[in-house]
Amino acid sequence: MQKNHFEDTIIAGGGPIGLACAISARRCGIDPLIVEAGAIADSIVRYPIGMGFFTTPELLEIGGHPFVCAGQKPTREEALKYYRGVVRTDALRVRSYTKLVNAQRSGDVITCTLATSSGDVTIDCKRLILATGYFGEANMMDVPGESLPFVAHYFDEAHRSSGLDVVVIGGRNSAVEAALELFRAGAHVTVVYRGTSFPQSVKYWVKPDIENRIAAGEISARLGATVLRIEPGVVIVSNANGVEESLHADRVYALTGFRADFALFRRLGIELDPDTERASVNPDTLETNVPGIYMAGSIVAGRFTSGIFIENGRFDGDKIFRCQ
């Protein structure tokens, strides 16, 4: 394994909050290294192509850099352009496609193990900030066939499914929005959801849309249904009456949510609440129970991923870095 130099601060995760933390650090005279498992703002790269934010641009701004977009709300593409512009303007040091896989503390030094395309490297640092978000791992249903190639856990683009039979699994915002987009792109959509109705957390302007499309017979639905298994070309469910049913599918979108890499946090010695998987962090400094290791952004909310988003997580860096 290659051993590298010493860094004052390593930030794991180059999403909006990791970048915001880096700006806070730089304004305190510290030049952190950001290690990012994917591309800059990889979670936004994974949003559906062309997707619009529900947040207005000023609430997505970091480091006071103005975010100007063409419409009232930005698109995925405008946000990617904005965040890479911030990296360029503030000369943030980002090592893309470099994943933090472990970290060990010894005395005042934290040794980070990073997986790269050319093998693992280690870098020592004084301070490690975890801003790794929760899009890395999809919630699996633990049913046979969910890893078949025609099953996707991220929604990409409705056009690819025009004219096809598509089963969408899930009933929260991502699944409902995907189902509506697929329908409007000419796919024959069946939504399979274990709830008997769509939850209140579905955006108030989207919920009536899906309910009306189902009532009109334009989108099929199996509510109160459980997926039993997936086989090539078919999703087998137990419907609300407990009857086994086979649904033909050219493509399947299993949009059952995402989870943070809690195993990584445990490996680092961070204590997590067994029910919520929230780490014990000092609310004023965001330092965890492991001295020198901090958490920022959406992961601070544990399993409740909708609790912290860009608008309310973007100032976390100012808690960690308080210039003397």
Ligand X SMILES: Cc1cc2nc3c(=O)[nH]c(=O)nc-3n(C[C@H](O)[C@H](O)[C@H](O)COP(=O)(O)OP(=O)(O)OC[C@H]3O[C@@H](n4cnc5c(N)ncnc54)[C@H](O)[C@@H]3O)c2cc1C
Question: 263-296 burial, b if ≥16 CB within 10 A, otherwise e?
Answer: ebbeebebebeeeebbbebeeeebbbebebbbbb
What sign for the dihedral angle of Cα 191, 192, 196, 198? negative
Residue in 62, 69, 92, 100 binding ligand X, rule: CB under 6 A: 100
Stretch that binds ligand X, among 133-141, 164-172, 194-202, 281-289 (CB under 6 A): 133-141
Site string for ligand X, 281-310 (x = CB under 6 A): ----------------xx----------xx
Stretch that binds ligand X, among 49-57, 213-221, 226-234, 235-243 (CB under 6 A): 49-57
Residue in 7, 9, 10, 15 binding ligand X, rule: CB under 6 A: 15
Q: Which is nearer to ligand X, 78 or 165 (CB)?
A: 78
Assess 53 for contact with ligand X (CB under 6 A): yes
In the beta sheet, which residues pair with residue 95?
A: 35
Residue located via tokens 């999809």: 138
Q: What is the 3-state secondary structure (H, E, C) of 28-40?
A: CCCCCEEECCCCC
Q: How many residues bind ligand X (CB under 6 A)?
A: 35
One-letter amino acid at 1 equals M
Q: Residues 162 to 221: which contact ligand X by CB under 6 A?
A: 174
Does residue 191 contact residue 221 with C-beta atoms inside 8 Å?
yes
Q: From the CB of 273, what's the least distance to ligand X, in Å?
A: 19
Assess 83 for contact with ligand X (CB under 6 A): no
Tally the residues of the chain: 324
Q: Which is nearer to ligand X, 249 or 299 (CB)?
A: 299
Q: From the CB of 236, what's the least distance to ligand X, in Å?
A: 28
CA distance 290 to 306: 25
Assess 18 for contact with ligand X (CB under 6 A): yes
Nearest-CA neighbor of 319 among 28, 6, 10?
A: 28
Assess 36 for contact with ligand X (CB under 6 A): yes
Token pair of 243 as six digits? 């009857």
In the complex, the residues that contact ligand X under the rule CB under 6 A are 12-18, 35-38, 41-43, 47, 51, 53-55, 99-100, 131-133, 135-136, 174, 261, 264, 297-298, 309-311, 313
